[in-house]
């Protein structure tokens, strides 16, 4: 899950699935959702589902290679020095911001920063990730605008770049073509991938995938066109100046807490999904892939830590079988659906989940 840029694009075709679709009738937004277990509809066939996902028999899923991938172009070292310098400065200011927060205790600004960061978090998790990258549900215009602004607040590049890179990550997970390939180590998967030039396979294979659907959304087109102006206003000026005018926070203090520290914290919450949730935890749905179930990451990333489930069932809007457990993004989407702002929520049927878990348990017993 990215900030800054990368290259590629994507969109893989899924095979047939048996899923549970949750429908929120448009004429009755406050009605209790109707849950029906149905075969995959035609419109779902374009969903992002990697080729080695759950619909293949367990014994046909091959383990990822353990080969290490380190790409260095000796002519220029492949290091993006501008990003290195930027992140060093950013983290140095962030550390001072933490010191300021502890010493001065500006609680109103801290609370405001938390709410602003939460909006940004939903822009990533409910917006860029579950809505635009995976199309796991549909959203009406007001909700799409709200999530677009939130994703801008998060400052992790525009919606097109974020979603494109994430689709490439799923399609080519843990290979050279994965933008933040966890086989290159924790630091690389966490943030190092932003400090190095892209592996040639990221550029080559990413170009074979289609992301044109993203630019069909006028909300995405608008944000891409005016991204840096929107980022300046929503990501910097508003969170910086609101505390100054409303409760007399100092300019420097507000900048440290509500701009820099909020931004760095949100970056690491996203990055932990790429690193920690690909290395530490259990794998009950597919034991032959890297992504894991990690409650720590779910707590910090609004429910995005159920990563083994998510990489097995990437089209499920909840990204977990556990309902509301440390998954406030699901609560957010369910609430939006209750009011008619979200609809066509895609969910995996219980029978599919249980069959998958049973297959993993059986495979593990055989291997042991």
Evaluate whether residue 40 is within a structural domain: yes
Phi and psi, residue 127, nearest 5°: -95, -85
Question: Given a cut of 60, is residue 50 above it in pLDDT?
Answer: no
Question: CA 164, CA 187: separation in Å to the nearest integer?
Answer: 22
Evaluate whether residue 243 is within a structural domain: yes
- Give the model's pLDDT for residue 315: 94
Instruction: Determine the structural domain holding residue 124 and report its residue range.
Output: 18-367
> Nearest to residue 130, comparing CAs of 155, 151, 100?
151
Question: CA 125, CA 150: separation in Å to the nearest integer?
Answer: 10
Evaluate whether residue 149 is within a structural domain: yes
pLDDT in tens, 78-126: 889 999 999 999 999 999 999 998 998 899 999 999 999 999 999 999 9
> Nearest to residue 148, comparing CAs of 134, 163, 168?
163
Torsion over CA of 283, 285, 291 and 292, rounded to 10 degrees?
Answer: -40
Question: Given a cut of 90, is residue 32 above it in pLDDT?
Answer: no
Evaluate whether residue 12 is within a structural domain: no
The strand pairing partners of 136, in sequence order, are none
Question: Given a cut of 60, is residue 48 above it in pLDDT?
Answer: no
- Give the model's pLDDT for residue 287: 92
How confident is the prediction for the chain on average, in pLDDT?
Answer: 83
Evaluate whether residue 175 is within a structural domain: yes
pLDDT in tens, 12-27: 333 333 333 333 333 3
Question: CA 48, CA 36: separation in Å to the nearest integer?
Answer: 22
pLDDT in tens, 214-241: 999 999 999 999 999 999 999 999 999 9
- Give the model's pLDDT for residue 149: 98
- Give the model's pLDDT for residue 64: 46
Instruction: Give every strand in the sheet of 18-23, ordered side by side.
Output: 34-39, 18-23, 345-348
The strand pairing partners of 79, in sequence order, are 196
What mean pLDDT is predicted for residues 349-364? 93
pLDDT in tens, 259-309: 999 999 999 999 999 999 999 999 999 999 999 999 999 999 999 999 999
Strands 18-23 and 345-348, sheet pairing: antiparallel
The total number of structural domains that make up the chain: 1
Evaluate whether residue 5 is within a structural domain: no
Evaluate whether residue 189 is within a structural domain: yes
Global pTM reads 0.81
């Amino acid at each position: 899950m990215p900030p800054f840029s990368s290259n590629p694009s994507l969109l893989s075709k899924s095979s047939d699935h048996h899923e549970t679709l949750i429908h929120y009738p448009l004429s009755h937004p406050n009605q209790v959702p109707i849950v029906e277990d149905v075969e995959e509809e035609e419109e779902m066939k374009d969903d992002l589902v990697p080729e080695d996902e759950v619909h293949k028999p367990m014994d046909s899923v091959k383990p990822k290679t353990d080969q290490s991938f380190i790409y260095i172009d000796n002519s220029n070292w492949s290091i993006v020095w501008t990003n290195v310098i930027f992140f060093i400065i950013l983290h140095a200011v962030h550390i001072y911001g933490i010191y300021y927060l502890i010493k001065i205790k500006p609680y109103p600004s801290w609370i405001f920063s938390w709410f602003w960061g939460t909006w940004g978090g939903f822009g990533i998790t409910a917006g860029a990730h579950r809505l635009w990258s995976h199309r796991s549900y549909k959203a009406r215009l007001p909700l799409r605008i709200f999530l677009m602004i939130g994703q801008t607040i998060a400052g992790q590049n525009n919606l097109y770049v974020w979603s494109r890179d994430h689709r490439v990550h799923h399609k080519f997970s843990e290979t050279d073509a994965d933008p933040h390939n966890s086989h290159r180590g924790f630091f690389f998967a966490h943030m190092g991938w932003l400090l190095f030039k892209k592996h040639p396979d990221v550029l080559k294979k990413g170009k074979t995938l289609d992301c044109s659907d993203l630019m069909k959304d006028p909300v995405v087109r608008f944000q891409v066109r005016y991204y840096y102006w929107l980022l300046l206003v929503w990501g910097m000026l508003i969170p910086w100046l609101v505390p100054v005018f409303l409760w007399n926070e100092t300019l420097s203090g507000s900048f440290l807490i509500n701009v820099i520290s909020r931004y760095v914290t949100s970056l690491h919450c996203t990055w932990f999904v790429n690193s920690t949730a690909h290395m530490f935890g259990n794998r009950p749905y597919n034991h032959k892939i890297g992504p894991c179930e990690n409650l720590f990451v779910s707590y910090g990333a609004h429910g995005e830590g159920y990563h083994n489930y998510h990489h097995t069932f990437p089209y499920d809007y909840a990204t977990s079988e556990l309902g509301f457990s440390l998954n406030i993004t699901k609560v957010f989407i369910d609430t939006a659906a209750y009011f008619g702002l979200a609809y066509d929520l895609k969910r995996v049927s219980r029978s599919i989940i249980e069959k998958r878990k049973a297959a993993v348990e059986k495979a593990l017993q055989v291997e042991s």
